[in-house]
């Protein structure tokens, strides 16, 4: 019987967390689970719900929000499984997905980390595999070429927009919403880099796996529902700050200070253009759209001044 430690970092997603845990236990027959929920100072009763409804779950209740990377590392420190599953609370396990991912790992002994097919609440594919952030990929993204030419392997390369996710393959990065990690790989490379508060930490982790001789795979045979962005939606502008800082940090770590400076310039130029566009739309729009365009304007300002 395989043993899996499931690490779930939660922040104010009580209802979704309950659904996630229910599906986790229902869809994990023949697996010995150790489930650890690390709560980052939620105020919605999440801790009380888990302790009441899922007494088999270990709960770590933080007094402050430590971020995604540090909170996961708390769970890793207690992990006893031969695999560690990093799982978001806004996910639902479908059709024995964990068993299928483990079977895939057994067939690919060099796979250090594995992601699976993600669908959203409406059944649509959610893209969860990417190339590493880089100066060139950031330039393509800033110009919006991946949206204009989604079938181009050049313009759509960072987000793999040309790929339909129907086949299993090696990738640079899999999203941390569901990432099955082999214990040997975790022991070798260590946990998440806690310099990242939120966003970018799984990219950094996948890069470290690859540079240490491990492979990162997407497994098309297993699926989950990932509602996506539920914690980030509670404070979108602040999350934009964390995202920009994290991607710039990763570029600097992987490509050096000069590359980070160029990337910062690209972000600033792109953000300045968006400030003009969304500022004009905010000034010209009616009352109903003003809040939407105002949010876009604040996010654009963040791209220039918050990074």
**Is the model's pLDDT at 278 over the cut of 70?**
no
What is the pLDDT at residue 227?
94
SS3 at position 248: helix
pLDDT tens per residue, range 174-193: 999 999 999 999 999 999 99
**Is the model's pLDDT at 36 over the cut of 70?**
yes
Distance between first and last Cα of the chain: 47
Between CA 245 and CA 198 the distance in angstroms is 9
Between CA 97 and CA 116 the distance in angstroms is 8
User: Of the ranges 171-180, 240-249, 262-271, which is most confident?
Assistant: 171-180
Instruction: Tell how far CA 138 is from the center of its chain.
Output: 18
Query: Lowest-pLDDT range, 68-77, 228-237, 250-259?
Result: 228-237
What is the pLDDT at residue 141?
76
Between CA 16 and CA 268 the distance in angstroms is 36
**Strand 83-87 and strand 2-10: pairing?**
parallel
Query: Lowest-pLDDT range, 15-24, 30-39, 104-113, 266-275?
Result: 266-275
In the chain, % of residues over pLDDT 90: 62
Better-scored residue on pLDDT, 119 or 288: 119
What is the pLDDT at residue 297?
45
* CA torsion through residues 168, 169, 170, 176, sign: negative
**pLDDT band at residue 35, thresholds of 50, 70 and 90?**
very high
Mean pLDDT of 262-272: 69
What is the pLDDT at residue 285?
63
Between CA 282 and CA 152 the distance in angstroms is 33
Between CA 76 and CA 182 the distance in angstroms is 12
In a 13 Å sphere around the CA of 73, the CA atoms on its Cβ side amount to 17
pLDDT tens per residue, range 219-246: 999 999 999 865 555 555 566 666 778 8
What is the pLDDT at residue 93?
98
pLDDT tens per residue, range 130-151: 999 888 887 787 777 778 888 8
What is the pLDDT at residue 250?
86
SS3 at position 182: strand
Between CA 18 and CA 164 the distance in angstroms is 31
Between CA 28 and CA 25 the distance in angstroms is 5
State the chain's mean pLDDT as an integer.
86
- Inter-residue contact 241 to 303 (CB < 8 Å): no
What is the pLDDT at residue 307?
46
């Amino acid at each position: 019987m395989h043993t899996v430690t499931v690490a779930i970092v939660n922040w104010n997603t009580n209802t979704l967390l309950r659904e996630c845990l229910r599906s986790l236990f229902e869809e994990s027959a023949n697996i010995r689970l150790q489930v650890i929920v690390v709560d980052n100072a939620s105020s919605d009763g999440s801790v009380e719900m888990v302790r009441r409804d899922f007494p088999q779950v270990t709960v770590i209740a933080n007094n402050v929000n430590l971020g995604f990377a540090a909170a996961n590392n708390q769970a890793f420190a207690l992990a006893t499984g031969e695999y560690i599953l990093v799982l978001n609370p806004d996910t639902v396990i479908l059709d024995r997905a964990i068993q299928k991912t483990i079977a895939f790992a057994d067939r690919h002994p060099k796979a250090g980390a594995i992601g699976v097919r993600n669908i959203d609440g409406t059944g649509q594919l959610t893209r969860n595999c990417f190339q590493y952030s880089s100066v060139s990929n950031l330039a393509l993204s800033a110009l919006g070429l991946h949206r204009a030419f989604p079938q181009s392997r050049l313009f759509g390369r960072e987000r793999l927009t040309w790929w339909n996710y129907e086949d299993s393959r090696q990738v640079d990065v899999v999203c941390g919403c569901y990432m099955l990690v082999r214990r040997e790989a975790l022991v070798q490379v260590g946990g998440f880099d806690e310099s990242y508060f939120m966003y970018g930490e799984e990219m950094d982790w996948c890069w470290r796996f690859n540079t240490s001789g491990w492979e990162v795979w997407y497994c098309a045979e297993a699926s989950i529902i990932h509602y996506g962005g539920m914690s980030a939606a509670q404070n979108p502008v602040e999350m934009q700050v964390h995202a920009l800082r994290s991607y710039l940090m990763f570029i600097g770590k992987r490509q050096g200070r000069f590359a980070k400076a160029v990337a910062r310039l690209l972000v600033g130029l792109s953000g300045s253009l968006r400030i003009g566009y969304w500022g004009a739309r905010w000034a010209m729009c009616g009352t109903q759209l003003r809040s939407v365009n105002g949010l876009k304007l604040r996010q654009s300002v963040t791209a220039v001044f918050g990074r």
